Amino acid sequence: TMATDAMNAIVNGRRPDWRGEYRWRTASGDNIWILTLAKAFEVSVTGEATLISGTNRNITQRKASEEALRQSEECYRLLFAEATYGIALADAETGLIVDCNPAMLTLLGQPREAVVGRHQRHLHPPDTWTGELGGKFGEARTQSSGLIRTQMQTASGERREVEIKTSEMHLGGRRLVQGLVTDITDRLKAEQALRDSNQQLAQALQDLQVSQTQIIRQERLSALGQMASGIAHDFNNQLTV
């Protein structure tokens, strides 16, 4: 095995020490992880080790935690890559973008190399930049989470209305701001179209009510005219009798 070969190498003087992690089957049949540290303390004139110090430590729990973390990171990476909404990670101190997913690149119409490594303010129209950190990013970095309404600018110069759900996270010793970006441009256009349609409908209804009122008034006036004409006719008939 790996551990046996390493110990033989120390004994034969081919290496001074060894550090290794390996699986071990216990007497009860359980598989555990062992961390072994071995070192030659005394060596003969022929170079062989005559005194070796070694320790074994059960690291099964640590290995389980590492595996759980690996699976969690793999799951996050999958969600990150497959998400239909844009995701961007920016360094909280510098504002530089450290990563983004394909959906973000699609929204911006830019390749990855044009986004990652640049300041996050370049995602937005220049006239929205304020302060060293580019406007609302300064707000996001001081809050653990929040929702920001702003604009992003595509490679073609088009402005897109977006909502960004921000949250703070730590990765590799760095404090990052994560932004989940939802493009709401089409939704806002649909909402505006609905408001315009409702306004036109309300105006049409008002015009109809005005027309109905006018028609009713005209009908009443016509009826009064006919009544007056009838009364005058009867009165004339009575005078001629």
pLDDT tens for the chain, residues 1 to 241: 777 888 788 788 888 888 999 888 998 999 999 999 999 888 887 888 788 888 999 999 999 998 888 888 888 888 888 999 999 999 988 889 999 999 999 999 999 999 999 999 889 998 887 765 555 665 655 565 678 888 999 999 999 999 999 888 887 788 899 999 999 999 999 999 999 999 999 999 888 888 888 888 887 777 776 776 666 655 566 555 5
d(CA 31, CA 60): 9
Nearest C-alpha neighbor of 185 from the set 210, 213, 154, 226: 154
Q: Where are the alpha helices (DSSP H) in the chain?
A: 2-11, 60-82, 102-108, 136-140, 185-240
